Chains A and B, each alone.
Chain A
């Protein structure tokens, strides 16, 4: 059974700081890993999708890495802004499936002005 853990559960940083969010998963036989952002009471916005053959993906100030062998991914946010405040979720397809996602519980990020 695939399990996804995200650390830390919550993070508060001053504006401008670089930060790293961590995601680990128990079954390394994944097709891909996806990072999402969720604002309070809202749906999910896809941030980055990393295929199993890739080691990292970048979009603007965001960089996500993937190490399948160790079952880990990190989301790096550079020069954080108050608008980055949200919950960040990582998700991987379940073991034996390439389409049913298992989500971590998320990291609640607060960026203080």
Chain B
């Protein structure tokens, strides 16, 4: 099945700054997604990353705060903009494969101070 490399694995950022998270898949996936996992909670879908076009955001998430790019089938980025302590979470990217369901990156643990 596909393997997703996600970086950085963790970061500590100042409030008001932005962080870009990258995910590289070793093979083509049909769809890519970005999730947020707040402390002690399960995963919440932020958006579906669409190749070559604007991402599709879930209710409560907006492009200005979480711009997403997917220039090709195997690469995507998520930017967390103008960060506040409430953005401290684990961010995960995921890819859907044709045969093996979903595969996930190793996660980015973000702390905003």
Spell out A's residues near B (CB within 8 Å).
32, 34, 36, 41-46, 49, 89, 91, 99-101, 103-106
Distance of A43 from chain B, by nearest CB (Å): 4
Given the known A-B contacts A89-B42, A99-B31, A99-B96, are A43 and B101 also in contact in the complex, defined by CB atoms under 8 Å? Answer: no
> Cβ of B90: which chain A residues have Cβ within 8 Å of it?
41
Q: Do residues B102 and A101 form an inter-chain contact, with CB atoms below 8 A? A: yes
Main secondary structure of the interface of A (DSSP, over half): strand
Q: Do residues B101 and A103 form an inter-chain contact, with CB atoms below 8 A? A: no
Distance of B4 from chain A, by nearest CB (Å): 8
Distance of B77 from chain A, by nearest CB (Å): 16
Task: Give complex CA distance A73, B106 in Å.
Answer: 25
Q: Do residues B103 and A46 form an inter-chain contact, with CB atoms below 8 A? A: yes
Distance of A90 from chain B, by nearest CB (Å): 10
Q: Do residues B101 and A104 form an inter-chain contact, with CB atoms below 8 A? A: no
Task: Give complex CA distance A36, B35 in Å.
Answer: 15
Given the known A-B contacts A36-B104, A44-B92, are A104 and B6 also in contact in the complex, defined by CB atoms under 8 Å? Answer: no
Q: Do residues B48 and A43 form an inter-chain contact, with CB atoms below 8 A? A: no
- Which among A46, A101, A105 is the interface contact of B1 at CB below 8 angstroms? A46
Given the known A-B contacts A43-B6, A99-B96, are A104 and B42 also in contact in the complex, defined by CB atoms under 8 Å? Answer: yes
Task: Give complex CA distance A44, B107 in Å.
Answer: 8
Interface pairs A-B: 8 shortest CB-CB: A49-B101, A43-B107, A44-B104, A43-B106, A103-B42, A43-B104, A105-B42, A103-B43
